[in-house]
Amino acid sequence: MPSSTSEFAIELEQVEHFEFLIRFDKDSFAPVRADEPPPLGRDAAPNAARYLAAAVGNCLSASLVFCAQRAGRPLEHVKATVRVELVRNERRRLRIGQIDVSIDAPGAGDPELAVCLPAFEDFCVVTQSVRQGIPVHVSINGTTLPDPAPSAGANQ
């Protein structure tokens, strides 16, 4: 079992019906709201699946930017589009079937970044954690990357 290196806590408080206020562990982080789409909620804010998609896209983009920076080839104007497929399982419960992340990173084709492309995903905490249960496919500038080998300690 992996050893713990740190932890954080997030507080959620029901506002009304299915709408929640999410408070982060640092006073400098503004609270955000979450809500479910109809028929449960009012769709007044993103739901948990959308926050998960944002977390995966942000983590991958930041990991790529970090890797490029370490290689001495900083990237700017990186954009990502995250597509989430919702499916129903055998019990008819909605689940996230897969996540596709398309990153637009001008300059990522630089030959000096070739070392980054196979490795940056492995450093993305969120994506590698999610991948233990949900397929995540990544492309950069239209080129699909091969799925990385499972990390040590990942469920096989």
The whole-number mean pLDDT for each consecutive block of 10 residues of the chain, a chain of 156 residues, reads 86 97 97 96 97 97 94 94 97 96 91 86 93 92 80 42
Query: For residue 153, what pLDDT is reported?
Result: 44
Beta bridge partners of 34: 20
User: pLDDT tens for residues 67-90?
Assistant: 999 999 999 999 999 999 999 999
Query: For residue 112, what pLDDT is reported?
Result: 83
Instruction: Domain ranges for the chain, please list them.
Output: 10-46, 48-144
pTM (2 d.p.): 0.87
Mean pLDDT over each residue of the chain, to the nearest integer: 91
Query: For residue 1, what pLDDT is reported?
Result: 64
CATH class of 48-144: alpha beta
